[in-house]
Amino acid sequence: METRTYSGGVRIERSIKIRWIGTCAWIVLIQSVILAFNFLGIYLPDRILNEQSKEMIEKWYSLPRVGIKSRNISVQIRTLVSTNLVKFGIAPDYSINFESTTTEYLFEQEDASSTNVKYLGVLEVTENVDEIALNFGEKSYVLPKEIFVENASAILKSIFNVDIHREKAEDLKTIVFIPNSEILYVSSYGKIPIIVVEDKLNFYEHYITIDGSTYRSGVLTTTNSRQIQVEEIPILLSTNFLMTKSYTISLGTKKYSYNQSVPVFGWNKIILYSDGSITDTTLSWRLKVSNTPLDFLLNEDRFYVLDISGNVYSVNLKTRKVNHLGGVEGAFKFSKHGSDVFLCSQNLCYHVRETSLEKVDQHHIEESEAHFFYPSISSLQNTGFGVFLGKTFLGNELIFIYVLNDKLRILTDVGTWEVFLKE
């Protein structure tokens, strides 16, 4: 009897073998009872696979594959490598154990020759603090991390000596796997084989607007089941209008009017625009607050804005009065502690009042985090090649973000992500 631990997280304390079904490898007991499927290094319970997901897995396995032996790589670097390989028509397979002394796959392939799968070899990827090391056959690179991130596509293309084969990946869709609830979705996104969702996140394969309507495949379904065809992903439906990031449609006259500036964030009944103005969700009023906003925070009936010039403003949403609280050089984020709001700069921290800023002790100062999206309360990270929350890749394109009560919803090119805000 032997024990084997697979990178997908399954441990089997008995003799096992692998059965190939089509082009896919399944973990099988001696009694031929299927336990699970290892999809490119991620363990998927067989009981949650449906015909749609099995068909999509087969499509991914029809691509040439390269094994990835990874050591200490972050989800950001893993995603960067994966998306670029898919762009070249190659499926990245993380089923390899880096500690293995050989480059053989973990699986003992019984009849791999019958699968007609093309294996290109094994790419070793090691991430250190400031460097990325790559080894593929006789090719080896050790590069500063910044250089690799900026030139990953060209570097991987030279390693595999391939041209971009976008047509091979046109009908591929990303599988979104939520381990905690054992749910699988086949999303409309297709630039990476699989996204594994952390426990704190919820995922919806459709888009959810501020008002609670749902949008998929060009059709918006309202909360009372009315359907409206819309070309662009909507962010808000009201009694009289429908808003996207680019335009607003009058539901009465059917006329389109382009938005004066781009809506960037919604916070309960307030919408903030890229020019520093705000409206409510009825669009019955509009108020110019600041220049282009950098960070912002809603605290009860006060809305605080820090713009790119370092100017700080507070807005009383009941009276719509705007107060300029002053300018702070190097200010980069708001933070909230209980009912108190603080503004942090590189050297000082300020207690933000309705009409003033007050310096506070040094222990309130927070270090700046590189590459985070605003508002800082969202904890989103922008790497330049994707949007991340914690260890979960959310997509390449950020469409819209809004807070509704205690939920933060993030709309990306993958779908709608939802997380509960912490105080």
Residue-by-residue DSSP string for 40-60: TTEEEEGGG--HHHHHHHHHH
- Contact between 88 and 164 (Cβ < 8 Å): yes
Predicted confidence at residue 416, as pLDDT, reads 96
Rg of the chain, C-alpha, whole Å: 25
Predicted confidence at residue 299, as pLDDT, reads 86
Tokens of residue 222, six digits: 């309202």
Tokens of residue 158, six digits: 């030279």
Tokens of residue 40, six digits: 């490119």
Find, among 161, 186, 176, the residue nearest to 88 by Cα: 161
Predicted confidence at residue 336, as pLDDT, reads 81
pTM confidence score = 0.81
Query: Would you give the distance in Å from CA 88 to the centre of its chain?
Result: 22
Predicted confidence at residue 4, as pLDDT, reads 38
Tokens of residue 87, six digits: 């762009």
Predicted confidence at residue 402, as pLDDT, reads 94
Predicted confidence at residue 168, as pLDDT, reads 53
Strand arrangement, sheet containing 183-186 = 183-186, 175-178, 194-196
- Contact between 88 and 162 (Cβ < 8 Å): yes
DSSP symbol at 372: B
Distances in whole angstroms, Cα of residue 227 to Cα of each of 82, 218, 224, 236: 37, 10, 9, 14
Find, among 239, 223, 332, 315, the residue nearest to 272 by Cα: 315
What angle, 0 to 180 degrees and rounded to 10, lies between the N-to-C axes of helices 75-87 and 145-160?
30
Residues of the chain with pLDDT below 70 are 1-36, 96-117, 162-170, 362-374, 422-423
